Each structure stands twice: as C-alpha cells, then as structure tokens.
Structure 1
Amino acid sequence: MTLPTGRTAWLVLGHDYLRQILADSRVSVNRLNPAYPHLVEMDERAMGAISLVSRSLVGLDPPEHTVHRRMLINEFTVKKLAAMRPRIQGIVDECIDNLLKQEQPTDLVTALSLPVPSLVICDLLGVPYTDHGFFQQSTLVAFNRKSTQAERMQAGAGLLMYMDKLVTDKEAAPTDEDLIGRLITKYREAGIYEHPHLVGLSMLLLMAGFETTANMISLGTLSFMENPDQLAKLTNDGTLATRAVDELLRYLSIVDVSGGSRFALEDIEIGGVTIRKGDGIIALLSGANRDPGHYEHPDTFDIDRGAKSHVAFGYGVHQCLGQNLARLELEVVYQTLFARVPTLRLAVPMSDLPLKDEASIYGLAEMPVAW
C-alpha cells in the first residue's frame, strides 16, 4: 500500500496473518526508527516531540518493553478493576442524570461519551478533573491527521508541560491513592525511577485512556440504535453485556491502523510473501475483525456471535493494557443508558452525523439525541 506520506508498506488483512505478524519477534514498534510507517511526515523536531511518550511503553520492543509493562500489568487486572465498578456506575448515573436535565436535542458526545472516560481516567491517575477540557482538546488536535505539524507539536508540548508539573508535584509525597503515585513508588523501589519516563508514561495513559473509550461509547450506542433487535437482546438479558461489548469492539475497530503499525527487523515470510528487512507493515485491525474466513457474515452486528477472538486491542506483547478497564466502562454505559433512557433516538438523520474521518482514532464528533 501507499501511505499518505508517499512511502509504501505491506498491508496485512487476514485474522490469522495479523496475529502471526503481531506476535513475531522480528517486527518492531520503535516509532523513532526511520523505517516505522508513520501516516504523517515526521521531521527531526516532530520525532523529538513524540520520543518521550513513545519511549515510555508503546514504542518499546522487548526486553525493555517487558520491564515497564510488568510495572503496570497488575494495575489493570479484572480483579483489581472490579473494585472500580461502583465508582464507574456512579459516574455513568450522574452523567445520565445531567443528560436528562438538558433541553432536547442534546449532544451525547459532550453529555456522556467524553465525561465518563475522562472522569474515570482522572480518578485512576490522580488528575484533577477540572483540567479535563484542556487535555481533551489537546488530545483531539494531537490525534487529528489534518492538524499541521506545528499544531500537533503545540498540543503535545502543552500536555507535556502539564504532566511534567503533575508528576513533579506527586514525586514529593507519592500516595497509594492514585496510579501515578503508585508507579513512582514501584519504580523507585525497583531502582529504575526516571522522571522523564514517568512523565511520558503518564501522558500516554491519560491520552489513551479516554479518547478510545469515548468514541466507542458514541459509535456503540449508534450501532444499537441501528440494530434494535440486538438492543432488545441486551435489554432482555443483561448477562449478554460482555458478549455485546466484544462484538462492538470487533464490529467497529476504532483504532484501526496505528494499533498494528510495525516494521521488519529481518526478512519475514508470511502467506507465501517475503517482507524484507526494513519494510513498513500495517496490520489492519479492522481487516482482521471483518475477515470472512474467520467470522461468518462479518459485516453483521450480532451480539450472539461470540467475538472474543477479536483483535480490536491489538495482539501479542503490545496488546492494550487498559482493555479490561475499557470493557468495564462500556458494559456499564450500555446497560445503564438503555435501561434508563429506553426511548433514546437520533435527533438527526444518520447521514448528517459528523464522523472523525481525519482522526487516528475513529469516532463521532457530535451525536444529537432525543428521547
């Protein structure tokens, strides 16, 4: 395939091929290497700007990646996150309370989709929610492929300065009350604490922790509206919530390209084709999740399917750490929203909804609803 930059890369589509390539130790996620298949031009200044976040986790290969992932893995287990369910339920209920007080139509994105994951990630990290408007807007600019390089760098620099101050403040007296405080303690006890690394890691967790889930809330709600038979199944049997979320993650695949971008460290043969050392690779998550060889009628939204094998969170050692948190938030939102607002409907034709076609994380910019 030809990238927007004019460079070429291999496109991997099939479910089995994608899992094979993402589990291969001969591919790299190092975003600072010239071989990495960026979708936008990256000059020296831009590469320097992304290095802190990239080198914190997502741009690291094993064994370095393994060390830092181990610091985080116990924070995102199903058991650990189950303790957050009452707080997440309270956040969702409060947002729906506020939604129902607004004049109709109102925008579901600003009333529910954004505030729920924003409040959750702020609670988890120990970030003051009063600052959510700043980091939401900054992340929107940073993930927008139509933003100029100067705009992306300005947004990134602003986020970096904010997170640097927050981490500095917490370093003086880290507590067990929030994830950043716990990480400061863990890294210090391991003897590998570095202030810049934790700033980059905290910034990554903040940016990734709400934009993805926010878009899934909007698009998942829209998918249920488009498929009332599937919504009826969910509302009649709440035990289907987990299956419904997995099916939505498969069906929507909102982190499509960036989650599977790699380059080859050695020659790799896959599907009878040789990918040469230094070649860029785009393992397309939506291609795998809509693979007709793996899923029967893949373009149909069916919560009875059993889509647990989807790759919406990636695959291999870089599979998304926060997937259990995202699933929990989505389950609570869908179950609560349609139970409390059963007449929820779009207030405009679906064709009028503004889609984030230009964004690295797909979603809706606005979703007017009524009830």
Structure 2
Amino acid sequence: MSDSYPLPKDWQHPLDPPPEYKRLRKEAPVCPVRTWDGNTPWLVTRYEDVLAALGDPRLSLDSSLPGFPHTSPASAARQGRPLPFPFLPDAEYRTQRAMLVPEFVPRRMESLRPRIQATVDEVLDAMLAGPRPADLIAGFALPVAMRIICDLLGVPRADAEHLHVLSRTIGSRTSSREVAEGALDALDGYFQKLLDANKAQPGDTLVGRIVAEQVLPGRLSERDAVAMFHALFYAGHGPSAYMMGMGALALMLEPEQRGVFVAMEDPGEIAAAVQELLRYVTVSHIGRQRAATQDITIGGQLIRAGEGVLAQPDSANRDESVFTDPDRLDLRREPRHNFAFGHGIHLCTGRMLALIELEVVFLTLFRRIPTLRLAVPLDQVAFKQNENLLGAHELPVTWEPSAGRTVEQT
C-alpha cells in the first residue's frame, strides 16, 4: 500500500505532481491508498489506465454507491442531501446534463468572447491602476472568473465573494463535516432564493432559462435545479481562477515559453498552447472519484464491485510513456488529450467556456504586461496545501510602470 492519500507534494516545485507518482507509474500503477476515513480505494496513475477508468461505465461517479471514495470530510458531507448532477446515477446525470448542453455549445460560448475580453480588460485596468506589487489572484484571476460565471448564471456580482468563500470551505480538505454541511446549506439556500426570483420573473440568463424551460414545466425538480446551479457556480469559477493564476505563474517562470505564446497568431496554435498549460499545471489535482459497480480489471489489477477508485489526472498528464519530456512546458507540443477536464461521459460540460477564458486571459495579460514577473522569490509564495485545487493564497507580481497599454487581441 502506498502512503496516505493525497500523496505529499514537493512544494519547492509547486506546479509538479507529487514525485511519488513517477515511481508508482512504473512499479505499482494501480495500488491501494488510505484515505482520511480509513478506506482503501485504488489509486490509478498511468495515462492509459486513467483513460480506461474514466471511460468505463462500470466505474461510476454516483456518490451514493458503496465504496465511493470520499477524499475529505467535506466530500462525505454531501451524503444524505441533494446531489449535484455529476454525482447522480448515470441515467439521471445524462438527463440533467442534456438540459445544459444547449447553454454550452461552442457557437454560444464563442459569442461570449467579446464580453470575456471586456471583463478581462476592465479587471486588468483596475489592477494596473493600483499599487505594485499586486496580488494576481485577488486582484485579477478571481474577479475575472467570478464575474464571468456570475454574468452567465445571473448571480449578482456583489454576491460572488460570499459564494466563493463558501465554495472554498467545501473544497478544503481541513473543513470538518459539520462546517462543510453549513457551507452546503448556505449555498443551497442562496440558489433556492435565486430560483424563486426567476420563477416569478425568469431572466435572460442560464438560471432563468433552466427555470423557465425545465423547472416550471416540471421536467426538473427545484431541489435538483438548486444543486445544479450550486455545482455550476462552484465548478465554473474556482478551477478557472486557479488555472489563470497557476498558468500565469508557469509562464512567468518560463520566459522563453511566454515569448513563444505571445507571438502566436493562429487560433489553432493558441488553443493547443492552452491545452499544454492545462496538461502541465493540472489545478484539479485530486483523483477523479469512482465506485466499481461490477468487477473490473484496470492495468492488470482486479477491482471488485463495491471498491473505490481514484483516477489521478495530474499523474496521467505527466506520464513519460505518452508525453516526451513530460515535466517540461512545451507550448508547441503536439496536442493530445489531457485530463484537466476529465474524460468520458463526465467530460466537463463547461470546458469550451473555460478554454476561451484562458485564451483571452493569458494573451491579454502577457501582451499588455510583457514585463510581468513574480515580486517575491518562488519559495516565498504561500501555496494552498490543503485544498482540492492547486492555488496560492497570494501571488505577488510586479511590472515596469510603462506597461498596460490595451492592444488588439487575436
């Protein structure tokens, strides 16, 4: 059995996965680990095995199943309450996901690019007008991500910070079950009020359209709709904001790659470069939770029905058998699938929105501020070491005072 889960990171190299994964991929690619509650799910670390695990319907994300591997007390706090649609049995998940697909089709997402660009410029203008050093997380990444998801859902921007604090409570591995339950209650209560307001007068927002088209006709219950909206806010701002911050950090630490990126003009090259950043950083660094509904063999290991599985995305994204020199950021790398957005039927519904956000953010940030750099040594950055997303409490940055001119974006 390997160490207790999650495995320890080397915080001198914060963007890299735990070094133990490299050994496990070679020697024990599917092995048991011990979680906080004493359970022993199977940890899957190799690319091909993660691909197989996430694509096999016998491994389910239904968190009510026996053996489902809760990675923290906050994860277990969802038991016995309405579950967000990704954690429902597959048939119910597919039904609810189909309700959301029209909201996230590529054409609709691409139509949001000008609004996303305007939001990024507005937040960046404010950061540039303020003092140096600035905190790239609180002063840029979080405001951008929260404004975009709030505008999409129809959540007042003034409520975003409160909802973010509640979301962080749920995403912390140190939150007690009782504290996490309180945060879940508060989030559900907030989105119930938002649903009620849209029942009275549906707005031209995602929440308004789901209420008008699904809740009022009786296709979706109110409790399921509340859980859906809560999940969309949670997943729609945190991973994006943390990826903005950690992706920017990666580019600041690799000035040659940053130069390659800002010189790109071809949309396909830009999209591939963002995918490489997602592969290299992988901010969603907790294993994808699954429970076996039947006996299944992954990587030569028999997994019995009722046992849990953690498919490790950051390890798979650094698998040397798939990616040449995987610990190097290479923005011209030939693209192939990475696990930043998952795989299979649970591939992230909002991935197109996130990709457009990241393209706009990174191009705007480094074209407008070519001298952007860390204001402190890397070993003085305080990283969040007990959360489900890889991030920093603060990311102090500075730049030359002449920076900041708005330029036309690709």
Does 2:357 align with 1:357? Answer: no
Q: Retained in 2: the 8 A contact 1:113–1:217?
A: yes
Runs of 4+ in 1 over 3 A off after TM superposition: 41-46, 188-191
Aligned to 1:137: 165
Does 2:43 align with 1:14? Answer: no
Q: Retained in 2: the 8 A contact 1:253–1:312?
A: yes
- TM-score, normalised on structure 1? 0.95
Secondary structure of the residue aligned to 1:263 is: strand
Q: Retained in 1: the 8 A contact 2:70–2:76?
A: no
Secondary structure of the residue aligned to 2:297 is: strand
Secondary structure of the residue aligned to 2:86 is: coil
Q: In the TM superposition, what is the alpha-carbon distance from 1:5 to its structure 2 partner?
A: 2.0
Aligned to 1:241: 270
Q: In the TM superposition, what is the alpha-carbon distance from 1:44 to its structure 2 partner?
A: 8.4
Q: Retained in 2: the 8 A contact 1:46–1:149?
A: no
Q: Which amino acid aligns with 1:163?
A: F
Aligned to 2:68: 36
| Residues 196-235 of structure 1: pairs in structure 2 closer than 5 A | 196-235=223-262
Identity of counterpart residues, as a percentage?
A: 35
Q: Retained in 2: the 8 A contact 1:354–1:365?
A: yes
Q: Retained in 2: the 8 A contact 1:238–1:335?
A: no
- TM-score, normalised on structure 2? 0.86
Q: Structure 2: state its 5+ residue gaps.
A: 1-32, 400-410
2: CA distance between counterparts of 1:43 and 1:120?
A: 26
Q: In the TM superposition, what is the alpha-carbon distance from 1:241 to its structure 2 partner?
A: 2.0
2: CA distance between counterparts of 1:216 and 1:149?
A: 27
Check 1:44–1:232 CA distance in 2 against 1; reply closer, same or farther (3 A cut): closer
Q: In the TM superposition, what is the alpha-carbon distance from 1:185 to its structure 2 partner?
A: 2.2
| Residues 1-371 of structure 1: pairs in structure 2 closer than 5 A | 1-41=33-73, 47-48=79-80, 51-52=81-82, 54=83, 56-175=84-203, 177-188=204-215, 191-239=218-266, 240-258=269-287, 260-371=288-399
Q: In the TM superposition, what is the alpha-carbon distance from 1:363 to its structure 2 partner?
A: 1.2
Secondary structure of the residue aligned to 2:85 is: coil
Check 1:181–1:99 CA distance in 2 against 1; reply closer, same or farther (3 A cut): same
Q: Which amino acid aligns with 2:378?
A: M
2: CA distance between counterparts of 1:193 and 1:32?
A: 20
Q: Retained in 2: the 8 A contact 1:251–1:290?
A: yes
CA deviation map 1:267-304 (0-9, x unaligned): 00122211111111000011111111111111110011
Q: In the TM superposition, what is the alpha-carbon distance from 1:307 to its structure 2 partner?
A: 3.0
CA deviation map 1:328-350 (0-9, x unaligned): 00000000011111111111111
Check 1:266–1:224 CA distance in 2 against 1; reply closer, same or farther (3 A cut): same
Check 1:44–1:88 CA distance in 2 against 1; reply closer, same or farther (3 A cut): closer
Q: In the TM superposition, what is the alpha-carbon distance from 1:188 to its structure 2 partner?
A: 4.4
2: CA distance between counterparts of 1:349 and 1:340?
A: 23
1: CA distance between counterparts of 2:339 and 2:237?
A: 19
Q: Which amino acid aligns with 1:24?
A: D
Q: Which amino acid aligns with 1:250?
A: R
Q: Which amino acid aligns with 1:40?
A: S
Q: RMSD over aligned Cα, in angstroms?
A: 1.6
Check 1:72–1:329 CA distance in 2 against 1; reply closer, same or farther (3 A cut): same
Q: In the TM superposition, what is the alpha-carbon distance from 1:148 to its structure 2 partner?
A: 2.0
1: CA distance between counterparts of 2:208 and 2:152?
A: 10
Count of matched residue pairs: 365
Secondary structure of the residue aligned to 2:43 is: strand
Q: Structure 1: state its 5+ residue gaps.
A: none
1: CA distance between counterparts of 2:312 and 2:297?
A: 18
Q: Retained in 1: the 8 A contact 2:374–2:398?
A: yes
Q: Which amino acid aligns with 1:149?
A: R
Q: Retained in 1: the 8 A contact 2:116–2:148?
A: yes
